[in-house]
Chains A and B, each alone.
Chain A
Amino acid sequence: MKRFSALALLRAGLDGQKSWPRDWRDPEPRKHYDVVIIGGGGHGLATAYYLAKTHGVRSVAVLERASIGGGNTGRNTTIVRSNYRQPALQRLLEFSLKTWEGLSDELNYNLMFSQRGALFLGHSDADMTKLAERGDSLRCVGIDAQLMTRRQVARLIPLLDISPNARFPVVGGLIQRRGGTARHDAVAWGYARAADALGVDVIQNCEVTGFDITDGRVHGVRTSRGSVGADRVGLCVAGNSGLVAAMAGLKLPIESHLLQAFVSEPVKPMIDTVIMSQSVHCYISQSDKGELGLGGDPDHYPTYSQRGSPHRIDEVAAQAIAMVPALSRLRMLRSWSGTTDMSFDGSPIIGATPIDGLYLNGGWCYGGFKATPGSGRLYAHHLATGAAHAIAAPFSLERFALGATIDEAGAGPLPQAR
């Protein structure tokens, strides 16, 4: 791996940028690996990296059906935060957020992790009480959270409509200053490059078509490029977890739904903070390129189509304009959809399955991106040691049978209710 640095860039500038090697190899799959990860998204690549880096497991392959980072890693609105309400989620996301904070340097790949603040707006006193409760629950375990008055919010986002007559009047907010955004593609690429340097095989255009399972134990996978043996196999295919698990005969508490997002044409800085809302289902942030990224509710029915309904986009636009009226004449440039693993309590599933040697990381609903580094570390721990890390333990698959669900929204077991 040729190290990235300002100096290296300068040197390369003198030779026409001709000296950069591939960021990761293009290897043929070997016959056998200690660990095979299915899915070359951020989570899978991170898991492979930490297997090699933290646990010394270097006989690792990441099998990706198409090109790495092409699924939900590259389709989200790039928000990173840990300001959840449920303690198990707080621990998971804060573990992840702490990892984000040193990640660009660790991977030697600038992920543009930008702690520009993640702000929840409150639109009533009742909203503010809920935000205070969330903030208190965070502060009591050492995670940053700060209530803001209407005036403070207005200073932070001058274009926000703070008039009391607004349809969603702003009463105040709760900000996590350490929250923000990161460059989503770079996360996949950065992990791939770093994992590759540690000997991990990142194998693209390699689709898993089945499992070798005998006596309740997995011995490997069948792929479009031949069979690959493995002592342990980790699923990391959020969006398609149900389909891949079905090849192993498993049924999961997951439905695949669709979430849309869109960006505007780029403009000079307009909104510096990630804006979310306690009552309005819309979130807004502006990328370093100047595009405003917006998203809202999922489409609320199962689909793998990656083709959303236009009414949802209209809704998001209306809510965004209600909050920031000056957005009206910005233009939507691109819209897209991702297939999300909607778990039945809204929380991810990380851990063992009923099949020995087969592990599951999925069910991220629409909150997987922010968890990428933490998820990778925890999953690698499980795959390397055979036992769940304490932070990941509550996210076991069996929690549904036990009734120990982790329901941040309190919305119940039907995914479309979230």
Chain B
Amino acid sequence: MMLIACPHCGPRAHVEFTYERTMDAILSVDVDPDTAVAILFQRENPRGPSQELWRHTYGCRSWLRLTRNTVTHDLAEVVAWPPA
């Protein structure tokens, strides 16, 4: 169970958080259908460092960007998203 340092709440067990998606899969409303399909369905699925969007759902409910290694689970960075 990872320990995620929420910038608002401090270090908390990862069960308080939910994974949303990788940062590159954020689909804005105004993109054309082909681009949307590519963003949604063509994924890097990286083995190693990955930029991910998480939410402190069962805590302060804010959104966070994690730089997380998908093999070691090392957390290089946890920041509020979007940046202020």
A and B touch in the complex (CB under 8 A): yes
Give residues in A with beta carbon < 8 Å to B: 242-243, 246, 251-256, 300-305, 307, 309-311, 344, 400-401, 413-414, 416
Residues of A near B45 (CB, < 8 A) are: 242-243, 246, 251-252, 254-256, 302
Contact B41 A300 (CB under 8 A): no
The yes or no answer to B28 lying at the interface (CB within 8 A) is no
Given contacts A242-B47, A300-B19, A400-B37, could you give 10 more A-B pairs where the C-beta distance is less than 8 Å? A251-B43, A251-B45, A255-B45, A302-B22, A302-B70, A304-B70, A311-B1, A311-B13, A400-B41, A401-B37
Complex Cα gap A243–B1 (Å)? 25
Residues of A near B21 (CB, < 8 A) are: 414
Interface string of B35-65 (1 = CB under 8 A from A): 0010011111101001010000000000000
Q: What number of A-B contacts does a CB cutoff of 8 Å give?
A: 69
19 residue pairs A–B, Cβ–Cβ below 8 Å: A242-B43, A246-B45, A251-B44, A252-B42, A253-B41, A253-B43, A256-B45, A256-B70, A300-B18, A301-B19, A302-B45, A302-B70, A304-B71, A305-B70, A305-B73, A307-B73, A309-B1, A400-B41, A401-B41
Tell me how far the C-beta of A193 lies from the nearest C-beta in chain B, rounded to whole angstroms: 32
Of A242, A304, A413, which contacts B41 at CB under 8 A? A413
Residues of A near B73 (CB, < 8 A) are: 303, 305, 307
Complex Cα gap A311–B42 (Å)? 31
Residues of B near A253 (CB, < 8 A) are: 40-43
Residues of B near A307 (CB, < 8 A) are: 73
Closest chain A residue, CB of each to CB of B48: A304
Contact A309 B14 (CB under 8 A): yes
Of A251, A303, A311, which contacts B70 at CB under 8 A? A303
Contact A344 B44 (CB under 8 A): no
Complex Cα gap A301–B54 (Å)? 10
Tell me how far the C-beta of B62 lies from the nearest C-beta in chain A, rounded to whole angstroms: 18
Complex Cα gap A413–B37 (Å)? 11
Contacts A414-B21, A416-B19: A302 and B44 contacting too (C-beta < 8 A)? Answer: no
The yes or no answer to B15 lying at the interface (CB within 8 A) is yes
